Amino acid sequence: MDEGRRPDDEKGEAEETAELLREYERQIMALPVQEHVERMLTTLSGLALQRLGIGEKEPAACSPQEARLAIDAFRALTEVLAQDEPERGGVYRATLAQMQLAFVSVAGGRAAGKGGAGATPETNGEDDGEAGKNGEGL
Amino acid sequence: MDEGRRPDDEKGEAEETAELLREYERQIMALPVQEHVERMLTTLSGLALQRLGIGEKEPAACSPQEARLAIDAFRALTEVLAQDEPERGGVYRATLAQMQLAFVSVAGGRAAGKGGAGATPETNGEDDGEAGKNGEGL
């Protein structure tokens, strides 16, 4: 601890920050569960687009296999939300359809460019190796 | 702006904090999608137990209807993860079964105490109004 920087002040600030974070967590957990699920959908759609390399400056994150998982999770949560709210479900299904199209466009194009549309996963690169095998999951 | 508190320093700190938060978000988004989904499962199980009033100091948050949504979302994501990792899926299914038991124990007990196990949702209180109707969803 650097005595010259008034450790008591620093400790006070750290405790204040910790308390703020705890309060933040309490507030987050107090949100309706539906809102949590909707935030998860937002996160999953962002991840799916990122892993498809859409709008990314660093295409290193590109992974059709992970994009597929994000899209599958998005679809699963959409179905759960749609049980209670059919109208909201329609909105999420539209987003889901867009992501599925993007997946086919990106992952299908990558597979075709590397090893042909009918190539087995083993003949493809690491990034899109699972795209063909799991395409039917979408 | 309070001139006495060196606004330039404050601005610098605010920008530093904002940059840290952006970096944090970048790191979070860079995590494997599977890890995101597993974090969602953790959040959902926490929410389910909280909404069932288990381990809560403030039972005001208790809502079997919201607990059911959290459990349904947990089950949906578990099925998605289990497609790729059957063994991990078994772990999550065990957690799911525990939550379902807790739901029946808490929501079933509350419904029985208030209006009988066969009571229609309309005869129950606001908190557990949907528990009976949606029990089959678990």
| pLDDT tens per residue, range B40-69 | 999 999 999 999 988 776 656 789 999 999
- Strand ranges for B2-138 from DSSP E: none
Q: Does residue B128 or residue A42 have the better pLDDT?
A: A42
For residue range A12-61, what is the model confidence (pLDDT) as tens digits? 888 988 998 889 888 888 999 999 999 999 999 999 999 998 877 665 67
pLDDT at A112: 57
Which of A50, A69, A68 is CA-nearest to residue A59? Answer: A50
Contact B76 A76 (CB under 8 A): yes
Contact A73 B46 (CB under 8 A): no
Domain ranges of chain A: 1-30, 32-137
Neighbour tally for B83: CB within 10 Å: 13
Q: Which of A76-90, A98-112, B11-25 has the highest mean pLDDT?
A: A76-90
Q: Give A73 to chain B, closest Cα distance, Å.
A: 6
List of chain A residues whose C-beta atoms are within 8 Å of the C-beta of residue B72: 80, 83
Q: Give A72 to chain B, closest Cα distance, Å.
A: 7
Distance separating alpha carbons of residues A120 and B69, to the nearest angstrom = 39
